[in-house]
């Protein structure tokens, strides 16, 4: 692998994860629309962006092939359901000032993915992976005492995204990130329209134009920025070993965690620091294990 291709891969890969990490800033700027409407426009404009890219690449045949293959398409449906759940929970979490807990969800995600691999794929864990899972389990217990209840938002984000990743792994390399996103968002457009109709029945109504051009542009921009990192991620995957991308995935929740402390001023009591430290320790163990072993699974993109 040439130095030039590695440099390009790192540049576009880091750009993708930086964009994903900035989502809390974008979402809070769209609070006027409410979480349910924000997700609607994310779906609509994300799909339109992906459609433009696919039209430019003239890649419609691939989409048709996938839709005709039920063994593949059923996993697209599963991934669609759980990415919708993930998106909605995430936006609600950000707008309700749970940025730290949402970042925890994506820190926990690799541990949740391992658990699903054991349960559904019959994979065997190394001693270091078991230690990582145990550390993560203890972290959840500590955080439960800290929050006074299970960190449901974090666990829901981790679980929904882990199941999304499981569905993606079933697709393998047969569907590109952009094509997969186009299918998922395309399937969700009808759901989004129903959700928009329900929003219109609320006292606040549809807020797309309530803030003028700036508000409408912001909601549209969030949808576009859902698709753009996918394209960058796809380019990075062509130039980097998967283990590089595996390490880079921790950048997004790290950025969100820093934003929660510095921009949103969310509280971080001592018990919470201990819980996060246990999660980070688990991720260090997984990283060491990743270095020692050849990568086996394709990494999955953030929401």
- What is the structure's pLDDT at 241? 67
Q: Across 158-162, 233-237, 250-254, 259-263, which has the greatest mean pLDDT? A: 259-263
240 and 13 in contact (C-beta within 8 Å)?
yes
- What is the structure's pLDDT at 245? 67
What does the pLDDT average to over 178-194? 90
The mean pLDDT value of the chain amounts to: 87
Token digits of residue 101: 């807990």
A 10 A CB-CB count for 265 gives 9
Under the banding of pLDDT at 50, 70 and 90, the label for residue 237 is low
- What is the structure's pLDDT at 223? 94
State the greatest distance between any 2 C-alpha atoms of the chain, in Å, as a whole number: 58
What does the pLDDT average to over 177-201? 91
What does the pLDDT average to over 27-37? 96
pLDDT tens figures, 72-97: 889 889 999 999 999 999 999 999 99
Does the pLDDT of residue 303 top 70, yes or no? no
Percent of the chain with pLDDT over 90: 54
Phi, psi of 295 (to 5 degrees): -60, 135
pTM: 0.89
Does the pLDDT of residue 4 top 60, yes or no? no
Helix spans in the chain (H) = 3-21, 23-28, 35-57, 60-68, 70-95, 99-121, 127-147, 152-171, 177-200, 212-239, 242-248, 251-262, 270-292
Token digits of residue 258: 């820093």
Cα radius of gyration (the chain): 19
Position of tokens 């995204």? 161
Percent of the chain with pLDDT over 70: 91
- What is the structure's pLDDT at 119? 82
Q: What CA–CA distance (Å, rounded) separates 99 from 106? A: 11
201 and 90 in contact (C-beta within 8 Å)?
no
Q: What CA–CA distance (Å, rounded) separates 201 from 122? A: 47
Under the banding of pLDDT at 50, 70 and 90, the label for residue 300 is low
What does the pLDDT average to over 101-111? 92
pLDDT tens figures, 207-223: 999 999 999 999 999 99
Q: What CA–CA distance (Å, rounded) separates 226 from 231? A: 10
Does the pLDDT of residue 298 top 50, yes or no? no
According to DSSP, residue 55 is labeled H
């Amino acid at each position: 692998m040439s130095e030039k291709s590695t440099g390009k891969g790192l540049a576009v890969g880091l750009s993708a994860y930086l964009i994903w990490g900035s989502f809390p800033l974008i979402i809070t700027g769209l609070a006027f629309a409410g979480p349910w409407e924000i997700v609607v426009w994310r779906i609509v404009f994300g799909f339109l962006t992906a459609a433009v890219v696919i039209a430019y690449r003239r890649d419609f045949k691939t989409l048709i092939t996938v839709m005709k293959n039920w063994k593949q398409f059923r996993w697209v449906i599963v991934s669609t359901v759980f990415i919708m759940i993930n998106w909605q929970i995430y936006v609600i979490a950000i707008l309700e000032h749970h940025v730290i807990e949402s970042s925890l969800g994506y820190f926990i995600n690799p541990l949740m993915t391992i658990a699903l691999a054991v349960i559904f794929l019959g994979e065997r864990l190394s001693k270091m992976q078991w230690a990582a899972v145990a550390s993560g389990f203890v972290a959840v217990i500590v955080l439960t005492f800290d929050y006074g209840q299970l960190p449901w938002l974090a666990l829901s984000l981790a679980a929904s995204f882990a199941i999304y990743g499981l569905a993606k792994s079933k697709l393998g390399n047969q569907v590109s990130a952009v094509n997969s996103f186009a299918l998922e968002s395309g399937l969700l457009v009808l759901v989004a329209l129903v959700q928009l109709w329900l929003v219109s029945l609320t006292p606040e109504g549809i807020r797309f134009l309530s803030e003028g051009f700036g508000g409408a542009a912001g909601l549209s921009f969030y949808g576009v920025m859902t698709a753009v990192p996918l394209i960058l991620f796809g380019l990075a995957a062509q130039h980097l070993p998967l283990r590089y991308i595996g390490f880079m995935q921790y950048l997004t929740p790290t950025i969100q965690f820093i934003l929660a402390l510095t921009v949103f001023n969310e509280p971080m009591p001592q018990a919470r620091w201990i819980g996060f430290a246990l999660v980070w320790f688990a991720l260090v163990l997984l990283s060491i294990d990743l270095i020692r072993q050849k990568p086996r699974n394709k990494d999955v993109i953030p929401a």
